[in-house]
Amino acid sequence: MLIKLFTGRDAEQRRHWVNRLNWVLNQELDGLRIARPRALIERPYPGYVMELMDGLESLQASLDSSRVALQNGTGLSGYLATGGLRRRLALLRELATTLAGLHARGLAYGDLSPANVFVSKSIEHCQVWLIDCDNLCATERLGHGHLYTPDYGAPEVVRGERGVNSLTDAWSFAVLAFEMLTHGHPLKGEAVLDAEPEEEAHALRGELPWVHHPDDTSNQACEGLPLELVATPRLQALFEDCFNAGRDNPLARPSLAAWADALEAAWALMLDCTAADCRSSFYWNEARQCPFCDHVAADGLLLAHAWYSDASPEEPHLDTGDRLALALERPVELHLAPVGMHGYSEAPLVCEVRLDKAGLHLAPKGEGELTLVRIEDGKTFPITQPQTLPAKVDRRRGAAAGLLLAHPAEPRLRPFWRFTW
């Protein structure tokens, strides 16, 4: 249980806060991972009780422990102890999905920061919950003692020009995502960290370029992990859109749905380093090399995804550009949706694939229908029970096979996966 009380002395602010809390109680938040009030408190101060699952901690605690390890010279030990890159992508994906759902209902969160996000303590799990639901608003909200959390406020909010809304949520999320992935701040580069404190205020007001500005290097990044190491090109483009054009034009900021899609696609590219003294997770690359220790993983299979529709028989296989990395002994579920789309895991499950030394195992799931396609001649073979593509096929570098998925619930949507060794 968590308790939040309003202890301010201003009677008008107290009345406004209580009214907003009562308004929140009447909002439709079912299906969103937001800790809602379970009981109201009237005395000695107005407030409410939130119920959270056991085994959660604030994201701030996780970030602090990881950052301290990096600053103390112990390298990535803290980064790995809190789940590494794979878990960070999963947590951010869940957070972006919740915020996208909130925005789709015409609501904004209002004060997004690591202190208001609770996540699983165990790195084996990726539960994400937002607390402090009294921050919610339907339209732009100004003042009443509530502004923003330092470092996470959008420039227009820091300057006092605008109130919080869904576009300021988009900024705060991008800052939080950048911090989680790199352990740096998108506005605090060389011009800030080696200067007087006033320069930090200028940066947070949007008066300095962001640390990866493509043309202006006056405030370039000087701490944390390299962005290209922890973010796909698609994620890097979203950061650029938000912190460059979106710094002065809030409408240029990527939506939370766009972030959720890109994070889903990035998570699908994860491989785990097989070096015993590394344990990092990293993005699939042609060399299959872990960038954190340079160890080459001999076993890694890339699944190239294409979207198929009966509506386009003249060009049935349309490459979406999204990919899925498959590593030894890590089962992967294939759903009836593009892998680079948030909500992918909620689409009908059709198949599970698993790679081991014996080969690639294919197992139909649910009501799905599978068809194996031999790429070299186009011949098809229905799969009605678990089958294995022998390991000898794997050794033929460049060999390819296709897997066509279908489901009676969506007969016109047929994902096609091309497996290339």
Least confident of 68-72, 170-174, 197-201: 68-72
Mean pLDDT of 271-289: 87
Q: How many domains does the chain have?
A: 3
Query: Which residues, in sequence order, are bridge partners of residue 359?
Result: 356, 390
Flag whether 199 is in a domain.
Answer: no
Q: Output 8 or 176, whichever has higher pLDDT.
A: 176
Give yes or no: residues 154 and 177 share one domain: yes
Residue 17 pLDDT greater than 80, yes or no: no
Q: What is the model's pLDDT at position 145? A: 43
Report pLDDT for 87: 95
The mean-pLDDT minimum among 71-75, 307-311, 319-323 falls in: 307-311
Statement to judge: residues 259 and 338 lie in one domain: no
Q: Are residues 243 and 287 in the same domain?
A: no
Q: Measuring CA to CA, which residue among 315, 310, 309, 282 is closest to residue 296? A: 282
- Supply the CATH number for residue 388's domain: 2.60.200
Same domain, 118 and 154: yes
Q: Domain for residue 189, yes or no?
A: no
Domain assignment present for residue 155? The answer is yes
Most confident of 255-259, 290-294, 334-338, 380-384: 255-259
Residue 291: cis peptide before it, omega within 30 degrees of 0: no
- Please check whether residues 287 and 411 belong to one and the same domain: no
Which of 101, 1, 113, 96 lies closest to 48, judged by CA?
A: 1
Among 139-143, 194-198, 215-219, 327-331, the minimum mean pLDDT is found in 139-143
**Structural domain contains residue 191:** no
pLDDT band at 398; cut points 50, 70, 90: low
Task: Assign 3 a pLDDT band (cuts: 50, 70, 90).
Answer: confident
Same domain, 228 and 332: no
Q: How confident is the model at residue 313 (pLDDT cuts 50, 70, 90)?
A: very low
Residue that terminates a domain, selected from 248, 265, 282: 265
Predicted pLDDT at 74: 76
Q: Are 365 and 352 in contact (CB under 8 A)?
A: yes
Does residue 249 form part of some domain?
yes
Looking at per-residue confidence, does 406 or 139 come out higher? 406
Euclidean distance between CA atoms 305 and 321, whole angstroms: 7
> What letter would DSSP give residue 344?
G
pLDDT for res 273: 87
Q: In this structure, are residues 399 and 362 in contact, taking their beta carbons and an 8 Å threshold?
A: no
Pair (17, 136) in one structural domain? yes
Please report whether residue 415 resides in a domain.
Answer: yes
Query: Residues of the chain with pLDDT > 70: what percent?
Result: 92
Indicate the pLDDT class of residue 175, thresholds 50, 70 and 90: very high
Residues 33 and 96 in one domain: yes
Q: Which of 47-56, 336-345, 372-381 shows the lowest per-residue confidence on average (mean pLDDT)?
A: 47-56
Helix (H) or strand (E) holding 325: strand 317-326
Average model confidence (pLDDT) across the chain:
86
Is residue 10's pLDDT more than 70?
yes
Q: What is the pLDDT of residue 24?
A: 77
More confident residue, 319 or 145: 319
Say yes or no: 277 and 310 in one domain: no
Q: Does residue 261 lie within any of the structural domains?
A: yes
User: 245 and 364 share a domain?
Assistant: no
> Of 265, 288, 320, which marks where a domain is finished?
265
Show the domain range for 113.
2-184+224-265
Q: What is the pLDDT of residues 136-171, one digit of tens each?
A: 888 776 654 446 899 999 999 999 998 899 999 999
Query: What is the rounded CA–CA span in Å between residue 60 and residue 151?
Result: 13
Model confidence band, residue 134 (pLDDT cutoffs 50, 70, 90): confident
Whether 291 and 413 map to the same domain: the answer is: no
Q: Determine, yes or no, domain membership for 89.
A: yes
Claim to verify: residue 276 and residue 260 sit in the same structural domain: no
Residue pLDDT, tens place only, 71-86: 777 778 889 989 999 9
